Copies of this chain bind each other. A is one copy, B any other.
Amino acid sequence: MKIGIVGLGLIGGSLAIAFREKGLEVLGVSRKATTCETALAKGIVTRASTEMGLLQTADVVFLCAPIKAIVPTAQALIPHLKPTTILTDVASVKGEIVQAIAPLWPNFVGGHPMAGTAEQGIDAAIPGLFIDAPYVVTPTPETPPDAVETLKGLIALLQSRFYCCAPQIHDQAVAWISHLPVYVSASLIAACGSETNSEILQMAQAIASSGFRDTSRVGGGNPELGLMMAQGNRQALLNSLAGYRAQLDQAIALIEQEDWEAIANLLATTQQQRPSFL
Contacts and interface: CB of A to CB of B under 8 A. Distances in A.
Interface of A: 114, 134, 136, 161, 163, 165, 169-170, 172-174, 176-178, 180-195, 197, 199-200, 203-209, 211-224, 226-227, 230-231, 234, 237-238, 240-249, 251-252, 255-256, 258, 260, 263-264, 266-271, 273-278
Given A204-B176, A223-B267, A188 B184 contact: yes
Given A172-B195, A242-B252, 7 more contacts: A136-B203, A178-B209, A186-B267, A188-B244, A220-B274, A222-B271, A237-B255
A244 B244 CA distance: 13
Contacts of A221: 271
A222 to B, nearest CB: 8
Given A169-B203, A216-B274, A180 B190 contact: no
B220 A217 contact: no
Contact of A181 (B174, B200, B211): B211
A201 B242 CA distance: 16
A72 B207 CA distance: 28
Contacts of A193: 269-270, 273
B169 A180 contact: no
A178 B241 contact: no
A243 B243 CA distance: 19
Given A182-B211, A237-B255, A245-B252, A227 B263 contact: yes
A77 B227 CA distance: 58
Q: Which of A172, A208, A276 has the most CB of B within 10 A?
A: A208
Contacts of A192: 176-177, 180, 273, 277
A216 B211 CA distance: 10
A236 to B, nearest CB: 9
Contacts of A275: 220
4 shortest interchain CB distances as A-B pairs: A220-B274, A223-B267, A173-B203, A177-B208
Nearest to A261: B227
Nearest to A254: B230
Given A185-B215, A220-B271, A176 B200 contact: yes
A241 B223 contact: no
A134 B191 CA distance: 22
A230 B206 contact: no
Given A212-B277, A215-B217, A248 B245 contact: yes
Given A185-B215, A269-B190, A243 B195 contact: yes
Contacts of A224: 264
A172 B191 contact: no
A231 to B, nearest CB: 6
